[in-house]
Structure 1
Amino acid sequence: MTYDDHPILVKIKGLTAVRAAKISFKGDTNVELIYLYDDGCVPTDNAANMNAYLARLAVLAKLEIDGEPHRR
């Protein structure tokens, strides 16, 4: 397996500012660029960070990709 086998950019069907805020680590409503975590909330640092990260992933997992993903 290599990173080149996985998409690096996708468009998500029905992504709204409200949904983006639920996925973004900082609650950002930007639908163009979403970060799930940063250096200040690394999921493996503690249980609170991991629980918050897993909650964001649960929201993300329910959404669908729109079109073909961009690969390197």
Structure 2
Amino acid sequence: MSTSTTSPTSIGTFVRRRFPCGHRTGQRAQILTTTTTPARDHFLVIYHDGDTELLPIETPDHHYEFGPAPTYWSS
């Protein structure tokens, strides 16, 4: 699958983890915003079922894949 040339921090961009690190690895989510904690920056994302999660922004092009909305996305 090809990845998007959209900036990884763009609101509305779809993202998924490339490496196992949680129960939703490999599932597409939409970036709602970015946020900063004392430790690091995060993407605040929402999944197709309404679940939200903070994903740490660590070398985005190595840890994440960015691309179009998945066909099952219903929001």
TM-score (norm 1): 0.29
Q: Please state which structure has a larger fraction of its residues in helix.
A: 1
Q: Please state which structure has a larger fraction of its residues in strand.
A: 2
Q: Over alpha carbons, which structure has the higher Rg?
A: 1
